[in-house]
Chains A and B, each alone.
Chain A
């Protein structure tokens, strides 16, 4: 049985290597295309904030949380803390760009919103920021997806996506869920 010479071996490996490079290159190109054409990035926001003073003043005091409309931007601010989100329910409009901003006063938390591309860690010391557009109406489940202590399994919130007509901000630009 003829056995391939060393040259043949290396040539076949080289050809396979080209195939590998092409496959890997294709994957890379797909990622690059998504980044360029649809601005798809992982959430990154190097914005520092002191977790120890969040409740005192500033953007994330209790009264300032929830959904707020300013001009044409819709911002949802939430606290992720042991072991609940505040607010536990927020309203978001359908088919409009929404920015979620989350902070933690204590340990690492994380969120995903089922059925959407919203996914981010919430790291104490930083403001997590996710940009998205909700395309379907309904109550979406937003659990804490990172281990944060014994109460982790019970930590979840609701994002209520409503049709544009039903999204009616008050005089301060706020929209809240009907019940707590």
Chain B
């Protein structure tokens, strides 16, 4: 293959350049950089290869760990698998025995204080039940209820309500919004750093896994939750997602949004 001089020159040239780049990039540069940061040469080289963490040019700060979590729920493969395999009879039975008293037959709540559950996302219900049980979310009615439930029961209940297609909770929007609300739900407010509600709560939004369906929900419930997030009374939204949004909405906007989503 290397029969002609041109191919020898090019191949040789490329080889020389690559060797130079390797020596410079993996040895010379890391060692020189490391020396100014008092990182020993071997560590610097390991960092430049990526077999150790950190930059070859700067010391890495020591991480302090600790602190309590805002929610115990993690969306890993195991949890998602279990949520996909519920015990359906248990779910229906428990819903009737335990939940229907407040949340109504088939998850359609008769009382404006209690949220509809019919058609809600299974992941959303599961997370809230879990958080009630662990205490990171507190409610005098729900906390004792949840504490009495096993994980398998929570999974069954979550899937039971998710499978009910009464059309009560449904992400599709059917009533149009006035311009102010429309802007808030679709675009949000860039100046305040509020994303549009639909960017998580909409169909196919691709937002956080536990995002509940809010269109069709009880107006008073939505309003109460937003106020609770705004004051920090409710803080089981992971990484401040809803607290940050709610704290930046005005009271008027909260009422408008609650009304809008309740109408859907």
Contact = CB atoms under 8 A, between A and B. Distances in A.
A and B touch in the complex (CB under 8 A): yes
Interface of A: 32, 35-36, 39, 41, 43-47, 52-53, 55-59, 61-64, 68, 70, 73, 75, 79, 81-84, 86, 88, 97, 99, 101, 105-107, 127, 129, 131, 149-151, 153-156, 180
B234 to A, nearest CB: 14
Given A149-B205, A150-B196, A55 B63 contact: no
Interface in B221-246: 238-241, 244-245
A111 B9 CA distance: 43
A107 B240 CA distance: 16
Given A39-B57, A64-B66, A44 B196 contact: no
Given A47-B53, A155-B193, A63 B61 contact: no
Interface of B: 24, 28-29, 32-33, 36-37, 47, 50-72, 74-76, 187-190, 193-196, 198-200, 202, 205-208, 238-241, 244-245, 247
A42 to B, nearest CB: 10
A41 B133 CA distance: 48
Contacts of A97: 58
B241 A82 contact: yes
Contacts of A101: 61, 63
Contacts of A45: 53-55, 60
A64 B56 CA distance: 26
Contacts, number: 156
B58 A53 contact: no
Mostly, the B contact residues are: loop
Given A32-B29, A47-B53, A62-B70, A150 B65 contact: no
Contacts of A47: 53-54
12 contacts: A39-B37, A45-B53, A55-B239, A62-B239, A62-B240, A64-B65, A73-B61, A82-B207, A82-B241, A86-B244, A151-B196, A154-B195
B205 A68 contact: no
Contact of A106 (B58, B67, B208): B208
B55 A129 contact: yes
Nearest to B194: A154
Given A61-B66, A88-B193, A154-B190, A82 B208 contact: yes
B33 A55 contact: no
A101 B60 CA distance: 10
Contact of A154 (B57, B59, B63, B196): B196
